[in-house]
Chain A
Amino acid sequence: DVKVTQSSRYLVKRTGEKVFLECVQDMDHENMFWYRQDPGLGLRLIYFSYDVKMKEKGDIPEGYSVSREKKERFSLILESASTNQTSMYLCASSSGDNYGYTFGSGTRLTVV
């Protein structure tokens, strides 16, 4: 029973490309989040959204943007991919009732 689905497990993109990472949740959660996970740095919040068409910057938003046109879908956009954006990207969602996140399986992005 998959609840948070990330469209790709592995992606390889070239420097300068515009990259779209898609995330869909089927739990009717209000909140959605994008994190990146790097060795030695842990999970860092890029962007989050509390509602449709609403977005807030996290701790490391530079070089990223997001889109939330529908409640169930939250997209992360790398405007011009760079090698320092090579990372594991994790999408998560949560209801407004508690802090328990449900994560997707992650997208491992390599920028060459």
Chain B
Amino acid sequence: QKEVEQDPGPLSVPEGAIVSLNCTYSNSAFQYFMWYRQYSRKGPELLMYTYSSGNKEDGRFTAQVDKSSKYISLFIRDSQPSDSATYLCSLPQGAQKLVFGQGTRLTINP
């Protein structure tokens, strides 16, 4: 079983829609969860991180962790064409190492 699994999509939604991106993970010891965003022909950039369970909000983005289900989500409200990118969930694999999901390619259509 992979440590973290993510549906690669692609996912295409109209502008203004609420987007839900999800990952599942296998190791219940994980405490720190991250989302990276990767635009085409660029490296990933850290979008949000959360520690332990619960929600964290940053503008139109909300990261949610459900440790009982080993499920993490990223919600995007009022989605914009500029949100079109690949979104990768990420969890620590060990001291300072990260393991990444496959990434979900998202397209927001004007």
Interface residues of A (CB under 8 A from B): 4, 31, 33, 35, 40-43, 45, 48, 50, 58, 90, 92, 94, 96, 98-106
Contact = CB atoms under 8 A, between A and B. Distances in A.
Interface of B: 6, 8, 32, 34, 36, 41-46, 49, 88, 90, 92, 95-103
Contacts of B6: 42
Given A99-B32, A99-B49, A43 B88 contact: yes
A31 B96 contact: yes
Given A43-B88, A90-B43, A106-B43, A100 B49 contact: yes
B43 A104 contact: yes
B98 A99 contact: yes
A101 B88 contact: no
Q: Would you call the interface of chain B mostly helix, strand, loop, or mixed? A: strand
Nearest to A90: B43
A8 to B, nearest CB: 13
A41 B102 contact: yes
Given A4-B43, A50-B96, A99 B34 contact: yes
B100 A100 contact: no
Given A99-B34, A101-B98, A40 B8 contact: yes
A15 to B, nearest CB: 25
Given A50-B96, A96-B96, A99-B49, A42 B43 contact: no
Contacts of A33: 97
Contacts of A99: 32, 34, 49, 90, 92, 96, 98
B68 to A, nearest CB: 23
